[in-house]
Chain A
Amino acid sequence: MFACIFVPNFPVAAVFRVEPELRARAVAIFEGKPPLEKVFAVNESAGRVGIAPGMTKAQAELCSELTLRPRSLLQESAAHAALLDCAQSFSPCVEDAAADTAILDLTGMESLFGALPEIACDIFRRAADLGLDVNVAVASYPDAAALAAHGISGVTVIPPGEEGESLGSLPVEVLFTGTSEDNDEQKESARLLATLERWGIRNLRALAALPEVALSERLGHEGLRLQQLARGAASRTLVPVEAPAVFEEAVELEYPIVLLEPLAFLLNRLLEQICARLASRALNTQELRLTLELESFSSFNQQSAINDQQSRPKRFHRTLRLPIPMLDAKLFLKLLQLDLNAHPPGAPILKIHLAAEPARPRSAQGGLFQPPSPEPEKLELTLARIAGLVGEARVGSLELLDTHRVEAFRMRRFMPEADSKVNRQKSSGEEQSVTALRMFRPPLRVTVTLENGELARVVCTKKKEVQGSVLWKAGPWRSSGDWWEREAWARDEWDIALQNADSVALYRLVHDLLGGGWYVEGSYD
C-alpha cells in the first residue's frame, strides 16, 4: 500500500505556514521584478473577491481586503522539506514526486502505526503540526494514491480493488496536474485535454470505460497510460529519496522590524516549526544560526550608483551553540532573546533566516547515587541570564595556563559533565588546606617607604585599609618570564603584615622591576 501527501496551493501554503494568521484573509502571492510583478497564486478567499493568477500587482492592490506577499523560494523550500520530514517520519521509502507531493510506501507499517486509516489520519495530523494543510490518500498503487490526493480533499483510504470506483468521479484534469514546466509537455497535455473534452470525456470513469484498442489507435501509448491511471491500476516502482537533514526556516517582512519584542514573536514561530521538523525526524539540535537581513541606512541617500551598491542589505549573524543536543523551542527562544539583548542587530530587520544543525538526541540515564548536577537545559538558560547580568566573558569555569605569569588563566564555557569520570579517579587525593590569596583587580598602586633598605610603611590612596606600618615581612621572591616577547615581566614579591588602625592584615606586595612601580596584588585570607 502507498500513501500520497499533497499540499494544495503550495505557494500559498508555504506562506501560511510562516504566517498562520493569514489563513482567514484573502491572500495573493506575487512574483517578478518591479514594476512588472504579477499575481502568481491566490487562496480561495482571494479568488472569491475576484483576484486571479496573472493579474498585475497594481491591479490586485486595488482590492483593499487583499493581503499581498512576495513569493519566497526559501519558504517554499522549507515547506517542501517539512513535507518530506512528515513523510519520512512514517516510512523510510519516500518518493519526492513534486514540490507539493510526496508518496510513501506503507508496506509493513501497519504493525508499527496501526491500521491504514489510522496511519492516514496520523499523517494528516503530523502535517498539520508542521503547519501544512494537506490531502492524504492511501491506495494500492502510488499513482492511484497521488490522483486521489490531488482530487479529494482530506483523508482518503481506497480499499484494494476499488480504485476505479473511488477515482471515477474525479475530473480528467486531475491526470494532468503536476506536469513539468517544460513547454512541450504542457502543450501535449493541453492537446490531450482538449481532445478528451471534444469526445465528451469529463471524468475518469468515462475515460476508464473507453475501449483500449480504439483509444490506442487515436491517442497512442499516452492514451493507454492515461486510461490505466484513470482505472487506478497503473503500477510502478517508487524512486525513494533521502531527505537532506537541512532544517532552515525564513520569513520576509513586509515592513522592517525595529524592536526585539515583535522579532521574538516571529522567532518563536520559526523555532516551533524547526523543532517540529526535528522532532518528526527524531533529532535534536546543538547549534542554531540566526541571520538577520538589515535595512541599510544608505538607501535613503540614493545619490549615485555607488550608493546603490552600498545600499545592499547588511547581514547580521548570531550563532547559538549548546553544550548538549536539545529540542525545546521555548528554551531556544529565551536564549536567542538574551543573546539579542546582549548583541542587538543595530538596524531595522527585513528578513529573518534561522537554521538548526541537527544532532542525535542525548542518551543519558541519571543514577540514584550520582551527586547533584544542574539540568543542562536549565543551566544553559541560567548561564545566559547571568551572562546578560555580568557580561559574557565574566561567567564560566576556569582554565589555568601553563606559565608562571600572574593571572594566567582564561574563562571557558561551563560544562560540568564533560570529563566527570576522569576527575572521579583523580579526586581520590587527600584533603589539603592552603592559605588563599584574594586578588585585587587591578592591583593597587602603593607608595612604599624604606628605612635602612627595609620595608617600613605602605600607603595606598585608593584603598584606605591597605596602608600602615609593616609589622612582618617575608621575601623578596624574584621571578621573571616571557623576556623574549613584548609582554615580558620581572618582579620582586614580598608577603607583608600591615598594622592598620585596629587590625593586622597580610598582603602580597610586588615591585615591578620593569615598570618600576609598587603594587599590592592581593590579601592573604
Chain B
Amino acid sequence: MSSAVVSTSAAQGRPFVFEVEDVVEGRPPQRAFSGAFKDARLAGVTPASRLAVRPAPEMVSSGIAAMDALTGGLPRGCLTEICGPASSGRTTVLLAALAAATRRGECCVLVDAGDALDPQSAAAAGVELERLLWVRCGESSPQKCLEQLLRAADLLLESGGFGLIALDLGDLPPQTARHIPLTMWFRFRRAVEHTPTVLLAIERQSIAGSCSSLLIKLGPQGKWIKESTNSQFPAPPTHAQLLTEMEITAELVRSRLERKPVRSAEKTRFQSFNVSRFQS
C-alpha cells in the first residue's frame, strides 16, 4: 500500500491523502473504474464522510467574562461579526478584545473605516497602544473609505502574524456596507483560515453572511448610570456627574463552531470608564 498527496480542486485548496492501491502485473486493479474515472489519480478516493473532521478552532478570550461565557470566546482563524446599532456597545467589545489580545503580547490591527477610535478610550480599556496598529481610513467619501478598508485588510491578512485584525465598519451606513461583495468576505475567510489570527468586524448589520463563524448582536438596554461608583473620591456635585455605566445585551445569533442549537440572548453588563475622569 502506498500513499500520494494529490491537490484537490480550487474550492478546497487543501491537500488530502489519497490511498492508491498497487497494481499487480498482469491483473487489473481490484477497484474498477469506468469511463472518465479510469484516471489513476482518482483511484481510491476517500468518501467525504471518512475525511477527518475539521479541528475546532482555538478560542481566545474576548476580554469580557460575560461575553466569553456566552460565546466561548473569539475563534482564531475565523471571521467574527459583532453588529448592533449606535450605542449598543460594539466599540466597547472591540476595545476589550484588543486589550485582551495586546495583553497576551500579540500585535493587533484596527482598520478604522470611520476614523472613529478614541485613543483615551482605548488606553482606558487597557489596550497596549504600542502593539496596536491603527489604520485610519475615512478622509473622503464612504465608498472611498470602504475601498481603503478592504484593500488594507487584504494586505494585512496577506502579511500575517497579527493576533487580531479588527475591521471597524460601525459608522458606515448599512447601504454602503452592503456594497462589499460576498466574494470579498469569502476571500478574507480563506485568508484567515489556518492562521492564529482573529478576524473581527463590527458593523451595524450583519453583512458577511455565511462567511462569519460567529455572529453576535448587541443592543442597548436603555439604562444609563451617572453616579460615581468610585469610593475613593467624594461624590461630585450633580452638575459635574457624567455617564459612568451603561447596560447592553448580547445575543449569539450564529455560531458555526459547535453543533449545538443557538442559545437565547443573555444580558451583559459593562462598567464605564468615566470614573477615570475624576482621577485625571
| Chain A positions near chain B (C-beta within 8 angstroms) | 370-375, 378-379, 381-383, 385-386, 389-391, 394-400, 404, 407, 409, 411, 414-416, 418-420, 423-424, 426-427, 429, 431-441, 465, 472, 474-478, 493-495, 497, 503-506, 522-525
B129 to A400, Cβ gap below 8 A?
A: yes
Q: Is the CB of A418 within 8 A of B130?
A: yes
For chain B, what secondary structure do more than half of its interface residues adopt (helix, strand, loop), or is it mixed? Answer: mixed
Segment at the interface with A among B11-19, B27-35, B133-141, B259-267: B133-141
B245 proximity list for chain A (CB < 8 A): 435
Residues on the B chain within 8 Å of A436, using CB: 91-92, 94-95, 118, 121-122, 125, 273
CA distance A127 to B272 in the complex (A): 67
| B248, chain A: closest CB distance, angstroms | 9
A-B contact pairs, 11 of them (CB 8 A): A371-B106, A374-B159, A374-B161, A394-B136, A427-B102, A436-B95, A437-B118, A465-B86, A472-B224, A495-B226, A505-B220
- Tell me the smallest distance from the CB of A355 to a CB of chain B, in Å: 28
Instruction: Looking at the assembled complex, report how far the CB atom of B170 sits from the nearest CB atom of chain A, in whole angstroms.
Output: 7
Q: B239, A475: Cβ atoms under 8 Å?
A: yes
Which DSSP category, helix, strand, loop or mixed, fits chain A's interface?
A: mixed
- The residue from B105, B123, B242 contacting A493, defined by CB atoms under 8 A apart: B242
Of B100, B119, B170, B222, most buried by chain A (CB within 10 Å of CB) is: B119
Asked if B143 is at the interface of the complex by the 8 Å CB criterion, the answer is no
Give the docked Cα–Cα distance between A390 and B112 (Å): 11
Of B115, B135, B196, the residue contacting A386 (CB under 8 A) is: B135
How far apart are A419's CB and chain B's nearest CB, in angstroms?
Answer: 7
The answer for the CA separation of A506 and B270 in the assembled complex, in Å, is 15
Task: Please determine whether B128 and A398 come into contact, CB atoms closer than 8 angstroms.
Answer: no
Structural contact, A433 and B271, CB atoms closer than 8 A: yes
Taking beta carbons and an 8 Å cutoff, which residues of B are in contact with A? 61, 63-65, 85-92, 94-96, 99-100, 102-107, 114-126, 128-139, 148, 151-152, 155-156, 158-163, 170-171, 196-197, 220, 222, 224, 226, 239-243, 245-246, 270-274, 276-277, 280
A524 B271 Cβ-Cβ under 8 A: no
CB-CB under 8 A from B222, the residues of chain A are 504
Q: Check if B105 sits within 8 Å of A435, measured CB to CB.
A: no
A416–B131 contact, CB under 8 A? yes
Known: A374-B159, A431-B96. A522 touches B118 (CB 8 A): yes
Report if A386-B96 is in contact (Cβ < 8 Å); known contacts: A433-B271, A435-B272, A472-B224: no
Report A417 CB to chain B, min CB distance, Å: 9
With A395-B136, A504-B220 known to touch, is A431 a contact of B243 (CB < 8 Å)?
Answer: no
Residues of A near B91 (CB, < 8 A) are 436-438, 525
Establish whether residues A431 and B277, one from each chain, have CB atoms under 8 Å apart when the complex forms: no
Distance of A427 Cα from B126 Cα, bound (Å): 9
Please tell me if the beta carbons of A435 and B126 are within 8 angstroms of each other in the complex.
Answer: no
Q: Check A398 against B119 for contact (C-beta < 8 Å).
A: yes
| B162 in contact with A374 (CB, 8 Å) | yes
Q: How far is the CA of A389 from the CA of B124 in the complex (A)?
A: 30
For the complex, give the distance between the alpha carbons of A370 and B104 in Å: 10
Q: Are A398 and B122 in contact (CB under 8 A)?
A: yes
Could you tell me the distance in whole angstroms from the C-beta of A476 to the nearest C-beta in chain B? Answer: 6
Chain A neighbourhood of B274, CB < 8 A: 435, 495
Contact of A477 among B92, B94, B277 (CB under 8 A): B277
The complex places the Cα of A433 from the Cα of B122 at a distance, in Å, of 10
- How many angstroms from the CA of A426 to the CA of B127 in the assembled complex? 12
B139 shortest CB reach to chain A, Å: 7
A395 to chain B: which residues have CB within 8 Å? 133-136
- B119 touches which of A409, A423, A474 (Cβ 8 Å): A409
Candidate in B107, B243, B246, B280 with the most chain A CB atoms within 10 angstroms: B243
Whether A390 contacts B135 in the complex (CB less than 8 A), given A371-B104, A378-B159, A504-B87, comes out as yes
- Distance between Cα atoms of A400 and B220 in the complex (Å): 30
CB distance from A450 to the nearest CB of B (A): 15
Say how far A483's CB is from chain B's closest CB, in angstroms: 18
Residue of B with least CB distance to A431: B63
Given A372-B161, A418-B130, A477-B240, CB of A432 within 8 Å of CB of B271: yes
A438 touches B220 (CB 8 A): no
Report whether B272 and A506 are in contact in the complex, using a CB–CB cutoff of 8 Å: no
Select B162's contact among A370, A372, A396, A465, beta carbons within 8 Å: A372
Contacts of B85 in A (CB 8 A): 503, 505
Contact across chains for B105 and A420 when beta carbons are under 8 A apart: yes
Known: A370-B105, A475-B242. A431 touches B118 (CB 8 A): no
Instruction: Pick from B64, B115, B120, B138 the residue with the most CB of A within 10 Å.
Output: B120
When distances are taken between beta carbons in the complex, the residues of chain B under 8 Å from A503 are 85-86
Most-contacted residue by chain B among A390, A396, A434 (CB, 10 A): A434
Beyond contacts A394-B115, A504-B220: 10 other A-B pairs, Cβ-Cβ < 8 A, are: A379-B159, A394-B136, A423-B105, A433-B92, A433-B270, A435-B273, A438-B91, A506-B87, A506-B246, A525-B92
Min CB distance, B28 to chain A, in Å? 50
Contact assessment for A372 and B118 in the assembled complex, using a CB-CB cutoff below 8 Å: no
CB of B205 to closest CB in A, whole Å:
13
Q: Cβ of A400: which chain B residues have Cβ within 8 Å of it?
A: 119-120, 123, 129
Residues of A within 8 A of B162 (CB): 372, 374
A427 neighbours in B (Cβ, 8 Å): 102-103, 105, 128
B115 touches A441 (CB 8 A): yes
Determine the distance from Cα of A432 to Cα of B61 in the docked complex, in whole angstroms: 13
Indicate whether A505 sits within 8 Å of B86 (C-beta atoms), given known contacts A372-B163, A436-B95: yes
Let me know if A433 and B160 touch, CB within 8 A.
no
Is B105 a contact of A439 with CB atoms below 8 Å?
Answer: no
Known: A427-B102, A427-B105, A432-B126. A391 touches B270 (CB 8 A): no
Distance, CA A409 to CA B130, complexed state (A): 13
**A residues within 8 A CB of B133?**
383, 395-397, 414, 416
Report, nearest first, the 3 A-B pairs whose CB atoms are least far apart. Answer: A434-B273, A374-B161, A474-B226
B64, A439: Cβ atoms closer than 8 Å: no
Q: Which residues of A contact B136 (CB under 8 A)?
A: 390, 394-395
Q: How far is the CB of B70 from chain A (nearest CB, A)?
A: 14
> Knowing A394-B139, A438-B91, A474-B226 touch, does A373 contact B242 (C-beta < 8 A)?
no
- Inter-chain CA distance A395–B155, complex, in Å, is 13
Whether A389 lies near B92 (C-beta < 8 A) is no
Bound Cα distance from A431 to B66, whole angstroms: 12
CA distance A418 to B159 in the complex (A): 19
B108 to chain A, nearest CB (A): 9
Indicate whether A397 sits within 8 Å of B242 (C-beta atoms), given known contacts A390-B137, A434-B272, A435-B270: no
A411 to B, closest residue via Cβ: B134
Asked if B94 and A372 make an inter-chain contact with CB atoms under 8 angstroms apart, the answer reads: no
Please tell me if the beta carbons of A397 and B90 are within 8 angstroms of each other in the complex: no
Collect the chain B residues with CB atoms within 8 Å of residue A472's CB.
Answer: 224
Cβ–Cβ contact A416 & B107, under 8 A: yes
Closest chain B CB from A328 CB (angstroms): 15
Cβ-defined contact, A441 with B116, below 8 A = yes
Task: Give min CB distance, A151 to chain B, whole Å.
Answer: 55
A contact residues around B61 at 8 Å (CB): 431
Report the Cα distance A399→B122, complex, angstroms: 11
